[in-house]
Amino acid sequence: MLLQSFLRIKKINQPNTPSHRLPHQLKAVSPLKDIPLWSLEDTNNTSALNMGDSGVVLQYIQDRWRVGLTVRDEVFSGYRILVTNDLQDSLGVAIPDLTIKGVPQYDPRSAELEFAYTGAARWTHILHLAYQQWSAFPAPTTNPVDGGIPLAGPGFHDTVIPRIATQWQCNARIQLRAGYAFHFSPAPTETKDHALLDNHRHITSLGAGFTNPWDLPLNIHLWMQGHFLMKRQHTKDLSNVDDLEDVSFEKITSAGKILVGGFTLGVEL
């Protein structure tokens, strides 16, 4: 089980600012820094678009409806280590240089569309759909010998992730939340070279928010997620394998449960 906590300090806008008076709002924010890139407010449903360093967030608000679109570019980190030697004279045999490189961390290019509706009974319902371009995921490691046989790609495929959520505004100070998502795994069944095990998963979440508890200038949000990994079996194709020691496994089954919880504490200035 993993517990996360965050502390946020921000200035709360006064209710007489223009953004609280106009019926239509359109804003773009940086997807990484969570700060406004620009803000456009009008009464004519004007739309616009603005690109940030790594993506764009477009949000439209009208009465009880909110529509948001987020597009993010891929984000990854890599490493490259060059290993050279000067052993040719002493051994009489040329030893090739090695280039050890790979991609240990990768977040795919994605597009997310969200609809939210706030009803008269203090309920807010959210429908979210995300597309992730996992087919662009490169091989996490490469052949270290220049000119050697290249390693096969991981063969990941693009995925679509549906999410639904709801929030009940109990009163001016308390909100209760619940949500569900289904994550399709982008990884294929591992029958050949790779051993990148992944599972389809159900994700359920519960949360609560408290505004100005005990009349203090605080915002407290608690949350918990349950990840339930669906059972999946991988069986290697051994028809072209000469030495079983070169195979990481012959047959393996993966499944499991993950519980994650945390809280956010905000201070109003």
**Which structural domains are found in the chain, ordered by start?**
2-17+110-268 (2.40.160.60)
Average pLDDT, the chain: 78
Phi-psi group of 109: left, alpha or beta (phi > 0 → left; psi -120 to 50 → alpha; rest → beta) = beta
pLDDT tens digits, residue range 28-65? Answer: 443 334 433 333 333 333 333 333 346 778 888 888 89
What pLDDT was estimated at residue 135? 95
**Quick one: average pLDDT of 4-26?**
42
pLDDT digits over 115-161, tens only? Answer: 999 987 889 999 999 999 999 999 888 888 887 888 888 889 999 99
pTM above 0.95, yes or no: no
| DSSP codes joined into one string, 71-108 | EE--EEEEEEEEE----HHHHSS----EEEEEEEEEE-
CA distances from 89 to 68, 97, 145, 146 (A): 65, 15, 20, 21
pLDDT tens, position by position, 95-125: 888 889 888 889 999 999 999 999 878 899 9
Better-predicted residue by pLDDT, 243 or 97: 97
